[in-house]
Structure 1
């Protein structure tokens, strides 16, 4: 069957988006593929269409449970019944059933942690798969912005011979991250498709403040008078809660979203936002991956992100409908110090390495260090991975180099804020690309008119009624907590 006909038959589309056809053709030819496609460019179709053309299951390794569930729900809404998600939400009986009938599914989603469980790993290795997909593949990179040791181990389940093609998908990746992806996935001369990282419809604005309190005041006033939907990114859970509460007090429908909330609460908030019942989400970087909302008009960074990759991932959630959107980057002197702290917070320190090796040397269980609070789960996982492969001194050196690299990434974001060169040009060059033309209302450094890009906010009676109800409920919960 011709790809064009298959696209029409299975998805109802008359034409591919840029890059999709080249990616799929190479997969169908049995080649490994690294595909860098911006948010909203149809990455999922690059494995879904081959899934209908191949007769064997497709395995998709996905880093976030919310992202995985969103993709599974989308397939089910399309009428696909042969889809399963292997994750921690499954009961023992559901997991047993899924593993028994695993070969009957067309699409198998799995978290990296679940994939490496002995029972799941053995079942996957005995199956014939048509394609293995590493979604959000930047998470594989040791220099990436979501250090996940279990993701580094995906290569362990892959046979050196007679394995299916591998598709690595991401929205953004530097040359260093691309090299890591290829190395850890043991890819063989992969075909590369790298789409232009520039999103012309997203206009870049930076705003400098002398006091941190001024930033919050500006956010409240700005959001009160301009149209959403929008996302406000901040670095701490407490600040996300505080800002969302202030917005609610201004009759603005908003909610805080962060990893400190229960999974069901996060899912409910996300669904409210997608359905248009919330104007604004105030979030840590826990929010956004896999969130498919076309009409986000604004993204505001209350504090600077730790990397330009984070910045591009997060502003890329705006303007997916192709219409004008604005990304605001707010800065106050000293914000970079907090960004450095956040960037290196979960990196193991020398004392962690020493304690881990000490417990191992005396025949103890390193898990006890996690149980008694001596180290976080991320630190434990990182050390479990690297101390099984390198000496303690090598791991200390690796962690120090990683910290230096992360600090250098923060400095690049600071340069974006303080340098007078075109902001768009700086970001695009970070990803090894060049701008092909100058655009109108490009960025703060090139000249921009906010009133031309952001509409005034219209307040509906329904929205005020709903917001007041949410505000009263939140006050009750705070009083009784």
Structure 2
């Protein structure tokens, strides 16, 4: 067998050797084993079903949702002299009948899942010898997959029908599947015995770099730096069309040969942009995640994520388009915690609450009594329905319609005869008569679990990009690539964390805090186990005067302000270090809570348990605080000194850091309190007053309220502070001062909130 396989590899595909793991997978299929293949994009998955398909007798059925990829592979096989055809929405009735009537003459048939259960196809396929069925993009069958497609649910019944006539192995292949998704794939395909291969998730030639940048100007500058320093071509992924336009226009103005690709463009323009990139006319393409399927350009040297990726699956699939030729390439993320708000917005609007779905259901059936409404037509746009229903968000309306469509309560679209002249929307057809809420067959628990899963995936991408740890090791662990994980050295030398870690002599880091700082955190969490999130616990330890802290009487706890000599960022880092090393756990969802793990509870009574992990905890904290030169954020406790009047703003900063109030500083310096306030605001804006001191001037709850007003009413900047104050007062927030507003504006600009 091996000799024949090597002969096909060389003579048909022009390759001299198999990539790691390919031969084992091929032999598994030939030996009639159901075979699950989890390999990253560019890892050589297609060869693992094409080569055994040539070796074995009969037709290979390849089920795939990707029309462009189908065509590319069919063309490639036909160019090699291997008969291949495709059946999808691009094939007309006459051509379809010709292909189906000649199945016995075809070696590879690529077919969209929607076409599997047509009577014409089923009637013919059962008469043809099948060597095996390969299911590409198999994660699409899983409810937990990042690209679930209902059409994939038909595959199990199709396989069952086919297996009544003959036996054959089934292959399931995907580049992105966690352990949870893999189990779901197995169950939904009805596979019992199988062999599983997880290979190649360590992209050894790709260096992963994370740069925490929030300001647009800094991001654009970093993009240009990457382009200037990196030969070859690249892709810049953005999370919105607006961001695509911004980056595209900026690069155009700087003379870069750049294209753009979004779903808003026509199919002809998209195809032209892709062709220009593939031919080398463009150095870079700026795109949403609509771009990339089927892209196999050898000299892509960098992939930049301008915003936070939606999930690790999406991120790893997208960076896999770089370095296909094995040469060193770069995956650069330019993101900040602020970028997570975009993803949270998408999640919030993708998974409407039960109350919202029922409210909209009542709106759709408002003109009908129980038992009426079946087959009724609604000709209204999403925007009109959002306003009339009170949902007030057309994106959420679209998500609600998907839920109702999923449970066969309605279908989107009406026939031309049923539509009205001038109506530009698709319309809706109600498929069932009106029911009481209790009789609706919607699995609310399932809907809630999908939402939780989305928040979980967002939490994982945060951990990958913002927690100090080896990025590559985290990815391998996430995808369950145990073989590559076992072979990876402690320092991968191919991610920014490990590269930075090399800078520390002997891999050791000077302790930033005493061990007792970690113990104080654990002690406070024993009292407030799973009651609050990271920021509330940090605020208590910091000694914040935030209204939440005071209204809940958290300032009465004996540990209130226990770590007040550190800044808030460092305290958050302490907690994240304890989470990373399993002393503290964080729940999933939009508002996660933190509590002690069993290890954390034991560490409260046995310091040795904590001591054993101290080196790792301190290393984590040091990397987390690298922007602060690894120094403790501790205020100098100097004795107040007499200061001559009329000195600089820095003198104000010195007095404030010594603990004097604004009023005391004003009296001491012979100035007004307003002048001292302006000094402190200016010092913070210029970077001469740290955030830890600024937070002693204001209450976080007020800052957040100002931020909300700025976001809603002042997208293009604030001309007069009075305008902001007026809106706040109208909404009942007259206690918010001009000082609060000034500091909030600067915090937003700096990305400190």
TM-score (norm 1): 0.83
Shift of 1:44: 1.0
Distance 2:476 2:492 in 1: 17
Long gaps (5+) in structure 1: 450-481
**Change beyond 3 A, Cα 1:238–1:364:** farther
Change (3 A) 1:255 1:352: farther
**1:28 CA drift (Å):** 1.2
Whether the 8 Å CA contact 1:125–1:157 is kept in 2: the answer is no
Compute the displacement of 1:392 (Å). 4.2
Matches of 1:381 and 1:117, distance apart in 2: 24
Deviations 1:74-109 (A, max 9, x none): 2233233x2112122122322232223233221111
Name the SS of the counterpart of 1:285 in structure 2: coil
Q: What residue in structure 2 maps to residue 428 of structure 1? A: 476
- Aligned pairs (5 A) from 1:440-459: 441-447=493-499
Residue 93 of structure 2 corresponds to 92
Once the two structures are TM-superposed, the CA of residue 191 in structure 1 deviates from its matched residue by 0.8
CA distance in 2, matches of 1:420, 1:370: 52
The answer to which of 402-411 and 158-167 deviates more is 158-167
The equivalent residue for 1:293 is: 297
Task: Report SS of the residue matched to 2:332.
Answer: strand
Kept in 2: contact 1:224–1:252 (CA 8 A) = no
Partner of 2:66: 64
Q: CA deviation at 1:331?
A: 1.2
Given the superposition, is the C-alpha separation of residues 331 and 29 from structure 1 closer, same or farther in structure 2, using an over 3 Å criterion?
Answer: same
**TM-score, with normalisation over the residues of structure 2?**
0.55
The corresponding residue for 1:466 is: none
Aligned to 2:7: 5
Q: What is the aligned residue count?
A: 446
**Cα 1:349–1:150 shift into 2, 3 Å:** farther
Structure (1 or 2) with the larger CA radius of gyration: 2
Task: Give the secondary-structure state (helix, strand or coil) at the position aligned to 1:151.
Answer: helix
Q: Write the distance in 2 (CA, Å) between the matches of 1:261 and 1:70.
A: 22
Q: Secondary structure at the match of 1:197?
A: coil
Greater RCO between the two (CA within 8 Å, min separation 6)?
1
The structure 2 residue matched to 1:437, chosen from 466, 482, 489, is 489
Q: Which stretch of structure 1 is more off in the superposition, 334-343 or 302-311? A: 334-343
| Displacement of 1:112 | 2.1
Instruction: Give the Cα–Cα distance (whole angstroms) in 2 for the partners of residues 416 and 185 of structure 1.
Output: 31
* Unmatched runs of 5 consecutive residues or more in structure 2: 386-395, 410-438, 502-753
SS in 1 for 2:310: coil
Q: Shift of the alpha carbon at 1:361?
A: 5.9
CA distance in 1, matches of 2:122, 2:258: 42
1:239-260: CA deviation from partner (whole Å, max 9, x where unpaired): 2233223222222222112223
RMSD: 3.0
Secondary structure of residue in 2 paired with 1:40: coil
Determine which of 233, 236, 243 is the counterpart of 2:240.
Answer: 236
Paired residues of 1:149 and 1:382 also in contact (CA < 8 A): no
Q: Is the 8 A contact 1:152 1:184 kept in 2?
A: yes
Cα shift at 1:348: 6.1
Alignment equivalent of 1:266, drawn from 270, 279, 288: 270
Q: What corresponds to 2:205 in structure 1? A: 201
**Partners of 2:398 and 2:23 in 1: how far apart?**
41
Paired residues of 1:442 and 1:448 also in contact (CA < 8 A): no
Residue pair 1:138, 1:172 contacting (<8 A) in 2 also: yes
- The residue that corresponds to 1:182 in the other structure is 186
SS in 1 for 2:326: coil
Which range is displaced more, 310-319 or 210-219?
A: 210-219
Distance in 2 between residues matched to 1:411 and 1:287, nearest whole Å: 24
**Corresponding residue SS for 2:210:** strand
Task: Pick one of 39, 42, 49 that aligns with 1:40.
Answer: 42
Matches within 5 A, 1:383-398: 383-386=404-407, 392=440, 394-398=442-446
Instruction: Tell whether the 8 Å contact from 1:211 to 1:332 is kept in structure 2 after alignment.
Output: no
Q: 1:364 aligns with which of 374, 382, 386?
A: 374
The secondary structure found in structure 1 opposite 2:61 is: strand
